[in-house]
Amino acid sequence: MVQSYQSPVRVYKYPFELVMEAYVRRFPKCDMIPIMAGTDIIKETTSKDGAIHQVSRKCRLHVEAPYLLKKIMGVEFIYFIQTNTLDRRNRTLTIEAYNESFSSRVVINENCKYSVHPENSDWTCFEQTAALDIRSFFGFESTVEKIAMKQYSQNISKGKEIIEYFIEELRKEGITSVPRWQEPTPKAIPEVCVTKESKKLENEAESSSEETEIRDRTSSTPSTGSTELQLGASATHLPNIDKLNLSDDNNKLDADYIKRCLGDLTPLQESRLIQLKKWVAELQKGKVPSDTCLLRFLRARDFNIEKAREMLSHSLIWRKKNQIDKLMAEYEEPQVVKDYFPGGWHHQDKEGRPLYLLRLGQMDVKGLVKSIGEEGLLKHTLHICEEGLRLTEEATSSQGRPITTWTLLVDLEGLNMRHLWRPGIRTLLKIIEIVEANYPETMSCVLIIRAPRVFPILWTLVSTFIDDNTRSKFLFYGGNDYQGTGGLIDFMPKENIPDFLGGECKSIVHEGGLVPKSMYQPGEDIDGTRQHIPLSEQSMYHSVSLGRGQVHEVVLLIEEPGSVICWDFDVMKSDVLFSVLRTKVPITHRPEPQSPTGAMGVIDAVMGSDDQHRSVIEKSWREGYEYFRVEPQLVCHDGESIQGSHVTSYMGTYVLQWRYYESAPHTSPLDIIDTITAPKAKIMYYYETLKSADYRGSMTSLQSCQSGFSSLSSNTNKSVTSSCPSR
């Protein structure tokens, strides 16, 4: 397999000629490069006008390899051929090197270039690329590759240091400048050559003038090191990294820029970043991530270029498919989020990173999901992630050093078993999956404080969906352990610790609280827009209205005993009667509705006895014979939230049934008028069937209960339960 490497552009703030004078001082042997045993010139030529000087050297390098490998190789030195071409007229030095030893087994090619800085003629740029192809090496291919990679990294690290050292030596000798090469006088070369050369110089001057004009027109644009690249083709068409054009100046990264804006990277990490950037640059149109973002994807995949490329590709497709940039630009916090979402940005941590506070224990997850839907909660989460990226960029600019991550502080005070609400957990897991895939390596650490005893259950459910790198950043504090040494004071400035955690800083983060049911929205109306992020195939909640005499049913076919039927519903208006039934004969389809006839038919039509509100339980069926009531019938009042489950004992058809509840039966024909004008009952419900093999009893929310967590009704405190699943 061919391994390719490329260093960023390194800038010497010295003229090209002075750098060249320092460069030749490293031959024939340099004490700062212990591996170099010496060099011999095998060929040297100079053009007639002296502009081009080319020299080829045979370089002897010490073998830095394990003893056994040295014995197998049977050599003391490894030989490389290096050819340097100095173009004094254009002020460039190109270096080409390849291995002479073991060339049939290992192929090493290295290319370097010194050139004048494009924006400052008194500065010099250096670039270096290499390719390694180990075909066979006595079974030590992996070892040889590691040695070569190590040596490459060391050479890059020492390269700039060596030039700086010899420039200092020149300064001590009184040499601080070297005159530029001048064209020979006309007497020294034939007249015809002078004419051609003059014409060439004239053209170069014109070209240089045009380049200067272009730079002037675009001087307001930041350098390519800090700007975002333009996405080229569809992200589904992925070019091969090995076939990329390595000479494209638009995709180069400056070493000083990397250190200033991205942080300290090893030479190989720098190389991976440049390779990924070049791949992105092959996609010629559209907006693509910044260098900081590219680096995050590389870190998420341990700088494996292929894995990072695949992850980034999927993320770009996801962003384009869901129009994330447009969605976030147009995003406005729903009122329920402004009033009841207990999270917000709060100053910085001790390292100057943005800090986000989330009072998860005070969050009404159920109320938020039923108010803005899963997609609404996802949009708000993505908005937080995008805001975090923006704040880290601002922090990098204001502090003059790389700030690429933000810190999350999660307060769990108030967390209890009601938070283990199954639909909420399912939504949370899907949101984590989307965030992990598209916003990797954005958090420096996650501080979990005031974790109650119930937290280990929640962590067991959630942690398996979190990437290993992210999971290692979680720090946990139970009770009041976050106070004092070893607590928050190690991560936050004392003056930034919020007041609700015992600090002096007034926090603007909302305290959360219960979402009023008046803010709940029907499942099909959630978000009020057709533009959805595909968190799920459909909304987990269904909404239905029931008039007097109407019934709504969910028919479930259970294929194995021991399966668990789960339900969760809120009574939004009026009262309903809830039942869980099992039929003796399996029902594969709903009975066809019959045309209404006679007076009772008219009444049925008025009361809504249509297919949607027609029971599968025939009127002639008898309870205990054709069907069975597997859970006690439950009267549910306006404002109540009901959760429950049933462990099935038989295969067959089970029915979840809601009926409009009337405390008194009809006693007069005039009641028909009341039926027409009476307000309808309204419920929002969710159901799920778990296979027996999937049910381990770990989801505490399977236990049947009434939840008042998101209810502000006067009925909230009533004791309303259905039977718990048998153990």
Any idea which of 93-107, 240-254, 556-570 has the lowest mean pLDDT?
240-254
> What burial class does residue 486 get, using C-beta atoms within 10 Å of its C-beta: 0-12 exposed, 13-18 middle, 19+ buried?
exposed
Single residue among 321, 341, 367 that ends a domain in this structure: 321
Indicate whether 267 pLDDT > 50: yes
Taking residues 458-484, report their average pLDDT. 85
Residue at 107 is within a domain: yes
Is the domain of 457 the same as that of 583? no
> What is the DSSP pairing of strand 443-451 with strand 343-348?
unpaired
Indicate whether 101 pLDDT > 80: yes
Is the domain of 434 the same as that of 505? yes
Is the domain of 288 the same as that of 365? no
Any idea which of 483-492, 509-518, 668-677 has the lowest mean pLDDT?
668-677
Indicate whether 295 pLDDT > 90: yes
Residue 386: its pLDDT value, please? Answer: 95
3-state DSSP call for residue 666?
coil
Work out the pLDDT band at 250, boundaries 50, 70, 90.
low
Segment (H or E) for 317: helix 305-321
* pLDDT mean across residues, the chain: 78
Domain count, the chain: 4
Residue 71: its pLDDT value, please? Answer: 58
Residue at 212 is within a domain: no
Any idea which of 121-125, 285-289, 569-573, 673-677 has the lowest mean pLDDT?
673-677
Closest CA to 145 of 156, 135, 155: 135
DSSP track, 256-303: HHIIIII----HHHHHHHHHHHHHHHTS-SSB---HHHHHHHHHHTTT
Is the domain of 510 the same as that of 583? no
C-alpha 177/C-alpha 598 separation (Å) is: 112
Residue 502: its pLDDT value, please? Answer: 87
Any idea which of 90-94, 188-192, 477-481 has the lowest mean pLDDT?
188-192
Is the domain of 582 the same as that of 681? yes
Residue at 195 is within a domain: no
Is the domain of 547 the same as that of 502? no
Work out the pLDDT band at 176, boundaries 50, 70, 90.
very high
Indicate whether 229 pLDDT > 50: no
**Amino acid (1-letter code) at residue 546:** L
CATH code of the domain covering residue 146: 3.30.530.20
Angle, helices 267-281 vs 141-172, to 10°: value is 100
CA distances from 433 to 370, 377, 386, 497 (A): 21, 14, 16, 30
Residue 30: its pLDDT value, please? Answer: 85
C-alpha 287/C-alpha 277 separation (Å) is: 13
Single residue among 287, 321, 355 that ends a domain in this structure: 321
Segment 703-721, tens digit of pLDDT: 444 443 333 333 333 333 3
User: Looking at per-residue confidence, does 336 or 425 come out higher?
Assistant: 336
Is the domain of 27 the same as that of 117? yes
Any idea which of 194-198, 480-484, 536-540, 691-695 has the lowest mean pLDDT?
194-198
**473-484 as b/e, with b when 16 or more CB fall inside 10 Å?**
bbebbeeeebbe
C-alpha 456/C-alpha 461 separation (Å) is: 9
C-alpha 49/C-alpha 190 separation (Å) is: 11
Residue at 368 is within a domain: yes
Segment 350-372, tens digit of pLDDT: 999 999 999 999 999 989 988 99
Taking residues 494-513, report their average pLDDT. 88
Residue 520: its pLDDT value, please? Answer: 86
C-alpha 42/C-alpha 35 separation (Å) is: 20
- Chain position carrying tokens 């008046």: 518
Residues of the domain holding 341: 327-518
Range of 194-203, 371-380, 479-488, 533-542 with top mean pLDDT:
371-380
What percent of the chain has a predicted confidence (pLDDT) above 90?
Answer: 36
User: Looking at per-residue confidence, does 374 or 724 come out higher?
Assistant: 374
Asked whether 268 and 149 are in contact (CB, 8 A), the reply is yes
DSSP state of 307: H
297-300: long-range contacts (C-beta < 8 A, 24 or more apart)? 297/440, 297/441, 298/269, 298/272, 298/273, 299/440, 299/441, 299/469, 300/440, 300/441, 300/467, 300/469
Closest CA to 414 of 506, 520, 514: 514
Residue at 666 is within a domain: yes
C-alpha 483/C-alpha 487 separation (Å) is: 5
Residue at 667 is within a domain: yes
Indicate whether 653 pLDDT > 90: yes
Residue 721: its pLDDT value, please? Answer: 35
Segment 322-334, tens digit of pLDDT: 889 888 899 999 9
Indicate whether 694 pLDDT > 50: yes
618: left (phi over 0), alpha (psi -120 to 50) or beta: beta
